[in-house]
Structures are given as C-alpha cells and as structure tokens.
Amino acid sequence: RADLLEELPANVVKRLLAHLSNEERQNTLILLNYPEYSAGRIMNPNFLDLKENMTIKEALQHIKAEGNKKETIYTLFVIDNTRKLKGTVELKDLIFSEENEIVKNIMNENPIYSTVYDNEEEVARVMQDYDLLAIPVTDSEKRLVGIITIDDIVDVLEESATEDIQKMAAVGVTETSYFHTSIWELVKSRVIWLGALLLFESIAVFVIEGFSDVLQKITVLAAFMPTINAIGGNTGSQMSAIVIRSMAVGDIEEDDFKKVLGKELFSGVILGIILGIVMFLRSIINTREPLIMLSLSLSIIIVVMISNILGAILPFFAKKIHLDPALISGPFISTLMDILSMFFYFSIAALLLKDLL
C-alpha cells in the first residue's frame, strides 16, 4: 500500500487516505516515513506481541482474543514493558508448555531481527539463511515496531531477481509488467544501452582494420572470426553470471577476490586447453596448414583464459566503484571480449604465420 501511494499524485493520495480507517491511515503514514527499499517500508505494524512475564495460559488467551486480527500467530514476539524486543516464541511451544509456565522461560532469548533502516534485500537474505517465516523489525533503541513475513519477502526477491535479469541483459529497469509498459518505454529502456554497446563494439572494427594485411593474405582466418568472438563472449558471460549470483546469495564476499582469481585462472587454463584441442581438430575441415591450426588453437586457449578471468574479476571491480555487478555482465562483457578476441586472434596469427604473409 505504501509503495502504491508513493507513486500517486498528492491529491489522489489525500483522497485515498481519507477512506482508510484511523488505524490503517496511521500505519500507512508511518511506513511512508521510511526510505524506499528499507525494512521499515515493507514491514507490517499489525502484529501480535507477548509480554515476557505472561504465563502460558495468559499468552494463549491473548492469542485467541487478538490473533485473528493480526498478520501471523505462528511466530510470536516477546517484549518488555518498554516494548523492547526480548525474544521470540513459536505457537507450538506455547501449546505444548504448562499453563503456569512463564513465557520468558521458553522463549528464544537471542532472536534474529532487523532494524527499520536495513535494506530489504539484506533482510530477505537473512530470512533465507535462517529459514524464518517472520522477522521482527526494531527501531534504533530495539523497540519492536513491526514484522516482515515470508510473503512480503517473496515479493522483494521477485523484484530483485527481475531487476538483476534486466541489468544483466543491458535493459533499463522497468517498474511495471511487460503488458503495462508502453512501446516507447520498452524502446527507451533498451536504446541507450544498445547505442552505447554499438559504439563500444565499433572499436573491434579498428582492431580488424589494423590487421587487414593478414586477413587479405590468409583469408581462411575470416571464417573463424565468429567462433573466436562467440567463445570469448560466452565464457565471460558464463563466469560473470556465476560470480554475480554467488555474490547475490552471499557465497562470495569482496574479500574473496584473490581466492576467486586463483581458482578461475586455473579453471580458465583447463577450459582453454580442452577447447583449444577441439578447435585444432575442428579446423581440419577448413585447412590442413599446421601453423594455421596451431594459431587457431592458441587463440582459443588465450581468449578463454582472459575471458574467464575478466568474467570473474569485473564484478569485484564494479562493487569496488559502487556499481551493481549485474551491469557489467552479459552484453557488456561480450562486447569487451569481441574487441580483445580479435586483437589476440590476429596478433597470434601475425606472429605465427609471418612466413605465410
């Protein structure tokens, strides 16, 4: 509701708020005070709490009286007299405890919680890591002000995944669904990136022109240009997707740069050698000149190694300069590798095939 109201004109918001009950209006205005994409913005202030000094009997009576009006009763949040979060307790634990037992004695005294200013994606990651159905949200003094439930987090994860996919495809992020987005908006979200990539890709033209004498004298090299370009772009895109996804789920941290670099340097060498052998055997169809076959194989090995390393390190570089790593994957790394692939391809050919020129 808060996100919807933020997108509407002020006069429309005023009319809509007037139709809400006092409690709903107050809750909505509270949520609107928090930054977009924060836990405070997506939390639900309509939750059930228990006092730590309640007996189990009193707690169950309270749940029966108020539970059907609240967001969830499966996980309950325990507070003290100043509303500070003291713990959490599961409904099943209350049901199977003695009636005269105190809530404080059966609660989890070290609850996982978030604060109102935590990023919603960080909250989603915490809930995933700890398999939580709901997480309490506190203010700066650890007073309980709301909860976030799993259905709220599913929406956050869906939006985050959609945004990452759009960025990885070099498409501007759109807030609306496909059929609710105008043709002009769709064009606008793509044309800037495509135009920038077109200009960037044109650098490859100058690289090829620089080796035009090699290409004119050994024309068979032209037949393998698409293959060299494709393997470079595909390898880099694969690697960047793996690293970006691992970063998103917390498997890879910024401090892991050296570990990732070492691992992918080694795997790049193995991949390059395997694909280089495949290229050597494949090139027999087009040429029986050993030096040309060797040139093609070495090009594949070097291009795959470099592409694999770039795909691994560019997401770290993006994070370092506070960019979303998803921005440098997909079309960007493919375009970069087109340029580098042509440079190394023709450089190796010029070096090994100088006797044929």
Q: What is the pLDDT of residues 135-159, one digit of tens each?
A: 999 998 999 999 999 988 888 887 7
Q: Is the pLDDT score of 30 beyond 70?
A: no
- Tokens in use for 272? 């390059």
- Distance between start and end Cα atoms, the chain: 71
Q: Whole-prediction pTM value?
A: 0.67
CATH architecture for segment(s) 202-356: Orthogonal Bundle (1.10)
Residues 7-18, mean pLDDT to the nearest whole number: 50
CA angle 282, 263, 236 (to 5 degrees): 50
CA–CA dist 220, 50 (Å, integer): 78
Q: Which residues pair with 149 in a beta bridge?
A: 134
Q: Is the pLDDT score of 27 beyond 80?
A: no
CA 315 and chain centroid, separation: 11
Cβ 35 vs Cβ 118: under 8 Å: no
Q: What pLDDT sits at residue 276?
A: 95
Q: What is the pLDDT of residues 99-125, one digit of tens each?
A: 999 999 999 999 999 999 999 989 998
- Tokens in use for 105? 């004695």
Exposed / middle / buried, residue 328 (Cβ in 10 Å: 0-12, 13-18, 19+): buried
Residues 298-325, mean pLDDT to the nearest whole number: 91
Fold adopted by 37-159: CBS-domain (3.10.580)
CA 122 and chain centroid, separation: 11
The domain ranges of the chain are 1-33, 37-159, 202-356
Would you place residue 76 in the very low, low, confident or very high pLDDT band (cuts 50, 70, 90)? very high
Average pLDDT along the chain: 85
209 Cβ neighbours under 8 A, 6+ residues apart:
none
Q: What pLDDT sits at residue 70?
A: 85
Q: What pLDDT sits at residue 136?
A: 95
CA–CA dist 100, 91 (Å, integer): 16
For residue 85, how many C-alpha atoms fall within 13 Å in the half-sphere facing its CB? Answer: 27
CA–CA dist 169, 332 (Å, integer): 9
Q: What single-letter amino acid sits at 235?
A: T
Equal fold, 37-159 vs 202-356:
no
